[in-house]
């Protein structure tokens, strides 16, 4: 019997896998096949499309006893026309984007943060921020640190085949991750990550890798969650992490 492999010293743990789901059946599939966190969103309504309240309740009923559940609440500017309903206390995290951000986005986001509780707030920073008039990631990270938010998500706003790595190289992402950890923030990486790119992103040492399309049949974010693709992601995030981190770090 071979002895267990020793993880190199100072190697951070493998990031947790977050899978975004549209409904309770997808949530159950993701949970049963190794996802560590379940995220609820409506991908037909944008990168952080807000789901219907009944969808939120159904997903929470299905998996919240075993898995932390987060929920996308859309873009900050949308709240003027679509005010937030009371936030379900079972949600571990809520996410807000800043596309077409108002000039006073810091103050508005702080008010939402006070309403939801800083420990649940994940502010989304778009890698392609110039395409959607959003603040750059470093400004959102600074806001999150100042307001003691739970963390930040780095994502892409426009889902047209461009990925996280079309806007950030490993060095820039490594700096963002280090800055987030310096301030005690959780940092999640997303952005149209394929299974291969998810493993590449995991090598940088974020806390969470967040996916939708990579966990779906044929890699199509509008298709259903596929059990084998979730299992494959779990394996990819864990197995190469230590050796890949040594190459990047």
pLDDT band per the 50, 70, 90 thresholds, residue 247: very low
Cα separation, 209 vs 13, in Å, equals 12
Q: Are 26 and 212 in contact (CB under 8 A)?
A: no
Position 165 pLDDT exceeds 60: yes
pLDDT band per the 50, 70, 90 thresholds, residue 29: very high
Q: Are 155 and 209 in contact (CB under 8 A)?
A: no
Q: pLDDT at position 228, please?
A: 97
pLDDT band per the 50, 70, 90 thresholds, residue 33: very high
Catalytic positions, written as ranges = 41, 95
Q: pLDDT at position 175, please?
A: 97
Position 248 pLDDT exceeds 60: no
Mean pLDDT of the chain: 91
Structure-block tokens of residue 156: 């892409």
Q: pLDDT at position 87, please?
A: 84
Q: pLDDT at position 11, please?
A: 60
Q: pLDDT at position 82, please?
A: 80
pLDDT band per the 50, 70, 90 thresholds, residue 179: very high
Is the whole-model pTM more than 0.85? yes
Position 7 pLDDT exceeds 70: no
Position 244 pLDDT exceeds 50: no
Cα separation, 35 vs 70, in Å, equals 13
pLDDT single digits (tens) 70-82? 999 999 999 878 8
Helices (H) and strands (E) in the chain, counts: 8, 8
Q: pLDDT at position 115, please?
A: 86
217, burial (CB in 10 Å: exposed 0-12, middle 13-18, buried 19+) = middle
Q: pLDDT at position 83, please?
A: 78
CATH topology for 16-248? Answer: TIM Barrel (3.20.20)
Position 218 pLDDT exceeds 70: yes
Domain range annotation of the chain: 16-248
pLDDT band per the 50, 70, 90 thresholds, residue 242: very low
């Amino acid at each position: 019997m071979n002895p267990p492999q020793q993880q190199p010293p100072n190697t951070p743990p493998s990031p947790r896998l977050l899978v975004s789901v549209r409904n309770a059946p997808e949530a159950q599939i993701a949970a049963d096949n190794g996802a560590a966190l379940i995220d609820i969103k409506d991908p037909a309504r944008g990168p952080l499309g807000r789901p219907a309240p009944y969808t939120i309740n159904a997903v929470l009923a299905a998996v919240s006893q075993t898995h932390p559940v987060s929920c996308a609440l859309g873009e900050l500017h949308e709240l003027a026309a679509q005010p937030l309903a009371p936030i379900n206390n079972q949600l571990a995290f809520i996410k807000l984007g800043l596309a077409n951000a108002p000039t006073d986005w810091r103050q508005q986001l702080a008010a939402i943060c006070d309403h939801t509780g800083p420990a649940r707030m994940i502010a989304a920073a778009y890698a392609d921020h110039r395409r959607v008039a959003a603040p750059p990631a470093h400004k959102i990270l600074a806001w999150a640190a100042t307001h003691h938010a739970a963390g930040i998500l780095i994502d892409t706003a426009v889902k047209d085949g461009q990925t996280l790595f079309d806007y950030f190289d490993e060095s820039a992402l490594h700096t963002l991750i280090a800055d987030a950890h310096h301030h005690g923030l959780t940092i999640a990486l997303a952005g149209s990550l394929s299974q291969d790119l998810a493993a590449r992103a995991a090598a940088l040492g974020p806390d969470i890798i967040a996916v939708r399309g990579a966990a779906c049949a044929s890699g199509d974010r509008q298709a259903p969650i596929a059990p084998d693709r979730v299992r494959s992601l779990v394996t990819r995030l864990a197995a190469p992490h230590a050796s890949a981190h040594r190459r990047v770090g």
